[in-house]
Each structure stands twice: as C-alpha cells, then as structure tokens.
Amino acid sequence: MKDIKQPLPTHIQQIIDQLDGQIAQYKELIERLEFTKKMWIQHQPVESNIIMTNAPLTRETIRNFMKMYSQPTQTVKVIDILYPKKSEEEKGKLVKTLSVIFNQMAKEGEITIERKEGIKGNFYKWKK
C-alpha cells in the first residue's frame, strides 16, 4: 500500500512558502557572517570600527562613521549608507537629526563644514 500525501490547503502552503523564504534569507545571512568572521580571524586588522546599518542615530555612530569615511560627505549620503531600507519619509527625518548632530560636532571642532561651488548643501569631513 502506498502513502498518498494530500496537498496542503492554500493558506497553509503560503505560510510554509513564506517560512521557507525566511529560512533561506537567514541561511544566507549566516553564511555572510561566517565569512566575515573567517576574514577577521585570518587578517586580524589592527584597528577598526564596525558600523552596523540601521544602528541608532547617535553622535557615537556618526563619529565612528566619519572616522572611517575619509572624504567630505553630505547628510543625505550618510543616511543612505547607514539606513538603506528606510522609507523616504523616515530618511527625511533622519537627515534633519543628522544635520543637528553635524552642526554640534562642527562647533566642537570634530568635523569641518565645506561648501562646494554649484552643489547645494554642506559637506562634512572628519577633522580630528
């Protein structure tokens, strides 16, 4: 006698498919993290700061980012790098917050503010 498997109901199959998709995403993430770990062990960099995307927008996060990012940059570009999956509305709010953080850091001498001819907005560069 053969085992006859009946197909799952549609709504259950959809849930199973979604779970399979999420499992595949996590497996890919684990592979990337394992590779990163392997590279850290093999190459042992002298000094580094890891900036995680979607980390809280704090002065410390921006300080670490600016130390690593050697060229002058605008607030919009920093937000695009640190928060790639945020909506445009959320990015707009983050840009305003980052502008305040940049201005405070400039007053304290941590960064410099530059203007480039023909380009709207300020460019910020790590100074220390």
pLDDT band per the 50, 70, 90 thresholds, residue 120: confident
pLDDT at residue number 45: 62
CA distance linking residue 32 with residue 95, whole number of Å: 29
Mean pLDDT along residues 87-93: 92
pLDDT band per the 50, 70, 90 thresholds, residue 121: confident
Per-residue model confidence as pLDDT tens digits over 43-73:
776 555 566 667 888 999 898 888 888 788 9
pLDDT at residue number 88: 92
Q: Which residues pair with 111 in a beta bridge?
A: 126
Task: Tell me what the pLDDT averaged over the chain comes to.
Answer: 85
Q: To the nearest 10°, the Cα dihedral for 33, 37, 43, 45?
A: 90
CATH topology for 59-126 is: Arc Repressor Mutant, subunit A (1.10.10)
